[in-house]
Structure 1
Amino acid sequence: MANRTSASSKTRVGKYELGRTLGEGSFAKVKFARNLETGENVAIKIVDKEKVMKHKMIGQIKREISTMKLIRHPNVIRMYEVMASKTKIYIVLEFVTGGELFGKIASRGRFKEDEARKYFQQLINAVDYCHSRGVYHRDLKPENLLLDANGVLKVSDFGLSALPQQVGDDGLLHTTCGTPNYVAPEVINDKGYNGAKSDLWSCGVILFVLMAGYLPFEDPNLMGLYKKIFKADFNCPPWFSSSAKKLIKRILDPNPLTRITISEIIENEWFKKGYMPPMFEQADVSLDDVDAIFNESGDSQNLVVERREEGSVAPATMNAFELISTSQGLNLGSLFEKQMGLVKQETRFTSKCPANEIISKIEEAVMPMGFGVKKNNYKMKLMGEKTGRKGHLAVTTEVFQVAPSLCMVEVRKSGGDTLEFHTVWSYYQCCTVNTIVWKTTDIEKDGSATGPSLSH
Structure 2
Amino acid sequence: MSSQGGGGRTRVGRYELGRTLGEGTFAKVKFAKNVETGENVAIKILDKEKLLKHKMIDQLKREISTMKLIRHPNVIRMHEVMASKTKIYIVIELVTGGELFDKIVSHRRLKEDDARKYFQQLINAVDYCHSRGVYHRDLKPENLLLDANGTLKVSDFGLSALSQQVQKDGLLHTTCGTPNYVAPEVIINKGYDGAKADLWSCGVILFVLMAGYLPFEDSNLMSLYKKIYKADFTCPSWFSTSTKKLIKKILDPNPNTRITIAEVINNEWFKKGYQPPTFETEDINLDDVNSIFDESGDPTQLVVERREERPALMNAFELISTSQGLNLGTLFEKQTGSVKRETRFASRLPANEILSKIEAAAGPMGFNVQKRNNCKLKLQGESPGRKGQLAIATEVFEVTPTLHMVELRKSNGDTLEFHNFYHSISNGLKDVMWKPDGNIAEVDRILHHRSQ
Q: Which residue of 1 aligns with 2:287?
A: 288
SS in 2 for 1:218: coil
Q: Say if 2:75 and 2:155, in contact at 8 Å, map to a contact too.
A: yes
Q: Which residue of 2 aligns with 1:203?
A: 202
Of 425, 432, 436 in structure 1, the residue corresponding to residue 429 of structure 2 is 436
Structure 2 residue 364 is the aligned partner of structure 1 residue 358: no
Deviation at 1:290, TM superposition (A): 0.8
Deviation at 1:443, TM superposition (A): 11
SS in 1 for 2:393: strand
TM-score, reference length from structure 2: 0.83
Structure 2 residue 250 is the aligned partner of structure 1 residue 251: yes
Q: Which residue of 1 aligns with 2:63?
A: 64
Residues 249 and 122 of structure 1: CA distance in aligned 2, closer, same or farther (over 3 Å): same
Structure 2 residue 29 is the aligned partner of structure 1 residue 30: yes
Q: Say if 2:112 and 2:210, in contact at 8 Å, map to a contact too.
A: yes
State the alpha-carbon separation in 1 of the partners of residues 108 and 421 from structure 2. 28
Deviation at 1:38, TM superposition (A): 0.5
Quick one: percent identity of the two aligned structures?
Answer: 73
Q: Say if 1:5 and 1:317, in contact at 8 Å, map to a contact too.
A: no
Residues 396 and 74 of structure 1: CA distance in aligned 2, closer, same or farther (over 3 Å): same
Unaligned segments of structure 2, at least 5 residues: 440-452
Q: Which residue of 1 aligns with 2:448?
A: none
Q: Say if 1:83 and 1:90, in contact at 8 Å, map to a contact too.
A: yes
Residues 436 and 168 of structure 1: CA distance in aligned 2, closer, same or farther (over 3 Å): farther
Residues 147 and 347 of structure 1: CA distance in aligned 2, closer, same or farther (over 3 Å): same
Deviation at 1:316, TM superposition (A): 3.4
Of 316, 324, 342 in structure 2, the residue corresponding to residue 320 of structure 1 is 316
Deviation at 1:321, TM superposition (A): 1.6
Q: Say if 2:199 and 2:261, in contact at 8 Å, map to a contact too.
A: yes
Q: Which residue of 2 aligns with 1:41?
A: 40
Structure 2 residue 395 is the aligned partner of structure 1 residue 398: yes
Q: Which residue of 2 aligns with 1:381?
A: 378
Q: Which residue of 2 aligns with 1:81?
A: 80
Residues 323 and 213 of structure 1: CA distance in aligned 2, closer, same or farther (over 3 Å): farther
State the alpha-carbon separation in 2 of the partners of residues 82 and 428 from structure 1. 35
Q: Say if 1:337 and 1:348, in contact at 8 Å, map to a contact too.
A: no
TM-score, reference length from structure 1: 0.83
Letter of the 2:376 partner, please give it: K
Deviation at 1:423, TM superposition (A): 4.9
Letter of the 1:132 partner, please give it: S
Residues 154 and 359 of structure 1: CA distance in aligned 2, closer, same or farther (over 3 Å): same
Matched ranges for 1:418-429 at <5 A: 418-419=413-414, 423=417, 426=420
Matched ranges for 1:137-156 at <5 A: 137-156=136-155
Structure 2 residue 128 is the aligned partner of structure 1 residue 135: no
Residues 272 and 357 of structure 1: CA distance in aligned 2, closer, same or farther (over 3 Å): same
Q: Which moved more, 1:193-202 or 1:172-181?
A: 172-181
Structure 2 residue 407 is the aligned partner of structure 1 residue 414: no
Residues 223 and 422 of structure 1: CA distance in aligned 2, closer, same or farther (over 3 Å): farther
Letter of the 2:159 partner, please give it: L
Q: Which residue of 1 aligns with 2:442?
A: none
SS in 2 for 1:246: helix
State the alpha-carbon separation in 1 of the partners of residues 92 and 60 from structure 2. 16
Deviating runs (4+, > 6 A) in structure 1?
384-393
**Aligned positions, number:** 430
SS in 2 for 1:228: helix
Q: Which residue of 2 aligns with 1:51?
A: 50
Letter of the 1:178 partner, please give it: G
Letter of the 1:375 partner, please give it: R
Residues 286 and 387 of structure 1: CA distance in aligned 2, closer, same or farther (over 3 Å): farther
CA RMSD of aligned residues (A): 3.3
Q: Say if 1:105 and 1:213, in contact at 8 Å, map to a contact too.
A: yes
Letter of the 1:325 partner, please give it: S
Residues 146 and 331 of structure 1: CA distance in aligned 2, closer, same or farther (over 3 Å): farther
